[in-house]
Every structure is written in C-alpha cells, then in structure tokens.
Amino acid sequence: MRQKIVAGNWKMNTTYQEGIDLAIAIDKAVAEKGDKNVQVVVAPPFTHIAEINKVVNNERISVAGQNCATETSGAYTGEVSAEMLWSAGADFVILGHSERRSYYGETNDMLKIKVKKALEFNLTPIYCVGEVLEEREANKHFDVIKKQLETVLFDLSDEEYKQIVIAYEPVWAIGTGKTASPAQAQEVHKFIRDLLVAKFGETAKNTSILYGGSCKPSNAKELFANPDVDGGLIGGASLTADDFLGIINGF
C-alpha cells in the first residue's frame, strides 16, 4: 500500500526556540487529532533537527533535512552531509526543491549525486520535480519533468528506488497562492507514475507522489482525493500547527 505523507518544509523560517515550540505544537496536534494513517514529516532548518527529533514522537513524526551535500565529508565549508543529517536523527531529506535549483544552481546532475548520498546514509529522499510558468505555457512541462526524473533516478537499482518519495511542485504554484487544479495535479502525477512504472515496474505503484504548491487546509481534500496524489509537501501552511493539522487530516 502506498504511504500517505504530509511533509512540512519550513525553509529558512523560525529561530531555534520558535522551531522547537512549533514542533511541540505539531506533535501535540498530531497526537490528539491527527489522521493515524498519515506519515508526518517536518523539515526544519539544520540547526533545529537534533532537538526536534528529541521532542517529537518519532513513530508519528519524522524529521527531514531540506538539502544535503554531494560529498560525504571534508573541506566543503558551509555544507551539511547526509551522514550528519542521519546522525542528528533525520529520516528524510528534501532534494531538488525549486528554490535550490533556481537560487543555488542545483542541476539534475548534482541531484543525482545527492540522491545517491542520501540513500547511502539511510535517508529517504523527497525528490522534487516541477516546471516553471514559461515551461507550462509552452506545453513543455512533461518534457521538463521527464528529464528531472530520468537523469536523477533512472540509474538507481530497484532496491534504491524503493526508498524514493517524489514531490510534484509546479514552480508557479509555490508560495504564490495559485494552486494547480485537482485535475492538473492528477494529470501530472499520473504522468510521473506511468513513467516510473515503465522503468521500475510494479514497485513504482507503491511510490508516494506528493503535491506541493500553495496547499492549504481549504484545498487539501480536493487535491488528495486524486488517485495518484498521495499527500503534500507544504511550505507556508506548515508553519502553523493548526493549518498543518488541517492538511494532515485532508484525506
């Protein structure tokens, strides 16, 4: 069975104490009112990971990094490795977020290495794909997503591939208040699943494919009702425990 997942990407938000308080509030909300069939993930800034891992109930809430290095260790000032994330208690890592691709020049070739590193250190990659507005308007979105998937994932072994979670995030919907319609989301999610099934076979029927882009409690239900939408990667609305809970309970 496909795992339902709702993951919160906090981006570069919250001071240390604000982050711990938010994690405690999410933990309480999830324990008291959260859908028990949903795997909840929070991706705070690196500095908060170890402490948040201590304050949340690990069976219901996993902790993620928002990025990891291409290298394992060494003279790479400012980088954080997959092994460091793992040793701080992370189980997941978001890779290929559009902000990393556009502001920090992350390419599909770099992401291929990062995905491998994450898997080497037992982290589940939440690998983000998605098109910018011009690509959608030029009807190139399927080609862009195909390339993002093929370059980064298609050399994985079946064993490695099983660990992967995908997030489809149309870049024009991230933080803009514009959401893909449920039909647009389903169309791309099905395209992604078909491509993955063609390459990896039946295993890909169990791959969780999350939607991201201005997902809120008010639109989560209609997005998650689609057969190929298995949850969400949430930005802004993951910074408030109530809103995040509303999305977690959107199935």
Q: Could you list the active site residues?
A: 97, 169
Write down the least CB distance from residue 44 to ligand PEP, Å: 14
Q: Which stretch binds ligand PEP (CB under 6 A): 35-43, 114-122, 155-163, 231-239?
A: 231-239
**Separation CA 208–CA 222 (nearest Å):** 17
Tell me, residue by residue from 157 to 186, as one string, x for binding to ligand PEP by CB under 6 A and - for no binding: ------------x----xx-----------
- When binding is defined by CB under 6 A, the residue of 96, 212, 231, 250 that contacts ligand PEP is 212
> Site for ligand PEP (CB under 6 A): which residue of 130, 170, 231, 235?
235
Per-residue binding letters, 7-46, with ligand PEP (x by CB under 6 A): --x-------------------------------------
Establish if 213 lies at the interface with ligand PEP (CB under 6 A).
yes
What type of residue sits at position 74? Answer: G
Which residue's CB is nearer to ligand PEP, number 98 or number 186? 98
Q: Minimum CB separation from ligand PEP for residue 38, in Å? A: 17
Give CA–CA dist 29/241, Å, rounded: 7
From CA 145, how far away is CA 199, in angstroms rounded? 15
The crossing angle, in degrees rounded to 10, of helices 241-248 and 16-33 is 40
> Amino acid identity of 115?
V
